[in-house]
Amino acid sequence: MRHNLKAAAVSALAIMAALAMSIPAYAADKKISEVKFRVNAKPEAGDSIGDPDVQVTKGNVEITEQEFDNDDSEWERGDKPVIYLTIEAKDGYQLSGTKLSATKSAYKVTKRSGDKSEWKVKITMSAVDGDLDTVEDLSWSNRTATWDSVSDASKYEVKLYRNSSTVTTVTTTGSSYNFYPYMTKSGDYTFKVRAVDGSDKGEWSDESDEYYMNSSDVYTGTPPTDNSSNSSSGGSTPANANGQWVNSIYGWSYYINGVPVKNNWVYVDNEWYHLNANGFMDTDWIYTDNNWFYLNPVSDGTRGKMLTGWQQIGPYKYYLNPVSDGTRGARKTGYQFIDGAWYLFDLNSGALWTNMVTPNGMVADANGVLH
């Protein structure tokens, strides 16, 4: 009986020793409450990607791996560097309930995966600083100035010259601008552009080639007086003091100093109107300045005015550019991002696609929103 009790005691001790050996070492380790990182150098535009330089400023861990999530050869302005780290708890410590942070609020630190001994960590940095690129490939498309867009530019400043003298400087969010309303005199017109993003401004481009405007083609409507207007931009220029509407059996005409405006836009009472080649006010769809516009055909007190934004015209909906970017009122086509949603407008007619599968595989619902 004693022999059996002694054997049982020995067996119990052996089991307890085995269990003790099977318990993970970190069971008795201290918990690390917080780990704080510091990124010692922020990349700048033009720098080679290289390796990050991250340091632990708080917490009993070691960084065993660190690299940028970027396969390019160098950083570009606007890039948001992302660093992937692997950290290991030092002997006697464990990663459990550990808080991650950075010495600068501009850096966001998050855990990706891991256990009590090793974590994968992601650090997202603020955007790379640098100079905006200089605008290139300036050209004229009839009376519209065009240029290549610049990455990270939110808008552009465009300066128009006539015979080397400054005519005006405008600001636009697009990469083109219709300068016709500023071409009120004959001469050689050129322009230059610079990219803008917030308070950052790029270098001015070289001057464009010349566009010659002869005296018979100059703009005879109300010339804009600020940098937000052009023949299709809908600025706030008052009507010409010497201009007036004249009605006849053939329609409405607009006269300036006794001369009828023909084949031009005029800005009257805060609205844009277009007069055809015979000098009569256009209505409905017209094609001019390389774009389609829709002019109110309804006699509601604003007949003939340029319409913008969403418009139900017949059985279809259209979107007419509401932005003063040099093409205000122009009919939009293709994929467009409007008020937080994507839409598709027919490339030929401009009509909104609804209840259809688009060429890129998305579905346009009953309202035209792509999903």
How do residues 19-52 score in pLDDT, each as one tens digit?
555 555 555 799 999 999 999 888 888 889 989 9
pLDDT higher than threshold 80 for residue 226: no
| Residue 52: partners with Cβ closer than 8 Å, 6 or more residues away | 39, 66, 67, 68, 81, 83, 123
Backbone angles phi, psi at 27, to 5 degrees: -60, -30
Radius of gyration for the chain, computed over Cα atoms and rounded to the nearest angstrom: 34
Mean pLDDT of 347-364: 95
Whether the full predicted model's pTM is greater than 0.85, yes or no, is no
pLDDT for residue 252 = 92
Q: What type of residue is 38?
A: R
The pLDDT mean for the chain works out to 85
CA gap 371, 357 in Å, rounded: 10
Report how far apart, in Å, the C-alpha atoms of 238 and of each of 24, 222, 242 are: 82, 8, 11
pLDDT in tens, 249-304: 888 998 877 788 889 888 887 789 999 999 999 999 999 988 999 999 998 888 99
User: Is there a contact between 138 and 52 (Cβ–Cβ < 8 Å)?
Assistant: no
Residue 340: which of 367, 307, 308 has the closest Cα?
A: 367
Give the residue-averaged pLDDT of 216-231: 56
**239 pLDDT exceeds 60?**
no
β-pairing, 30-31 vs 93-94, is: parallel
Local structure of 370: helix, strand or coil: strand
CA dist 47 and 91 (Å) reads 37
pLDDT digits (tens, 9 = 90+) for 70-90: 888 888 887 889 999 999 999
DSSP bridge partners of 363: 357
Distance, in Å, from the CA atom of 53 to the CA atom of 46, rounded to the nearest integer, reads 18
pLDDT for 326 equals 74
Residue type at 108? Answer: K
What was the pLDDT predicted at 344?
A: 97
Considering only residues 173 and 163, tell me which one the structure prediction assigns the higher pLDDT. 163
Question: In Å, how far are 123, 138, 169, 314 from 193, measured between CA atoms?
Answer: 37, 8, 9, 40
CA distance 156 to 205: 11
